Amino acid sequence: MGSILFIIIVVVIFIAVLVYRAANKKPQEKTNSASESESAKDSEQVPEPLPEAEQTPLSPTVPEALEEIASELEGESDPLVRHRMLSQLTEKSYKHRKDEEYRKACIHFSALHIQEFEEIVEPLKEASGGKLPQVMTFQNYANLLLELEQFEDAIKVCEQALEFGLDDKTQTGFEGRIQRIRAKQNKAG
């Protein structure tokens, strides 16, 4: 009887903590969503080069299929786990980038992944036996920016990949990708 009472008390305390956290989180989310809509209006007029992603990955534009991973990402602090989650989010959203909601999610999570990559690079290198694996976020984000004709931003993404020592596993690597982007930029005028 005593152990059942103890379990009930623990469950009640746990629920109270969850309710308390949810109550404290809601005003902050409303403030964030208001500032996100203002910044979304601004970014539609003049695209910012490599925008810094908001620290709260779950936003109103996250497609339903990505919500679970995005919400798990919010509470995660381990760099390797965040890398894995961000890789999943960017790859899934990139595959459906023709859909505006997925495209916005891809831009958001790619920017966040690249922004955090400085903290990810060493643990990732160590976990991979001293050599960095291919990180699709950089090439996918560069491709997406190229499709949006944001040539300079696409080049910056490739340059960042080179600074980290990443390889896109193509014959010419990120250097060749930069040359191809510049050629398309010159052709576009």
Task: For residue 134, give every residue at least 6 positions away whose Cβ sits within 8 Å of its Cβ, in sequence order, or none.
Answer: 166, 167, 168, 169
Task: Say how many domains are in the chain.
Answer: 1
Per the CB < 8 A criterion, the answer to whether 132 and 98 are in contact is no
Closest CA to 58 of 32, 84, 78: 32
Mean pLDDT of the chain, nearest integer: 83
Higher pLDDT, 124 or 57: 124
For the entire predicted model, the pTM comes to 0.69
What pLDDT, on the 0 to 100 scale, is given for residue 41? 41
In this prediction, residues 142-161 reach a mean pLDDT of 98
Place of tokens 């976990």: 127
Flag whether pLDDT at 188 surpasses 60.
Answer: yes
Per the CB < 8 A criterion, the answer to whether 110 and 143 are in contact is no
* Domain assignment of residue 53, yes or no: no
48-84 pLDDT, tens digit per residue, is 445 554 444 445 579 999 999 999 999 999 999 999 9
* Domain assignment of residue 34, yes or no: no
Percent of the chain with pLDDT over 70: 72
* Domain assignment of residue 7, yes or no: no
* Domain assignment of residue 52, yes or no: no
Domain boundaries, position 150:
67-189
What pLDDT, on the 0 to 100 scale, is given for residue 39? 45
Flag whether pLDDT at 151 surpasses 60.
Answer: yes
* Domain assignment of residue 12, yes or no: no
Flag whether pLDDT at 20 surpasses 80.
Answer: no
pLDDT classification of 28: cutoffs 50, 70, 90: very low
What pLDDT, on the 0 to 100 scale, is given for residue 1? 66
CATH number at residue 148: 1.25.40
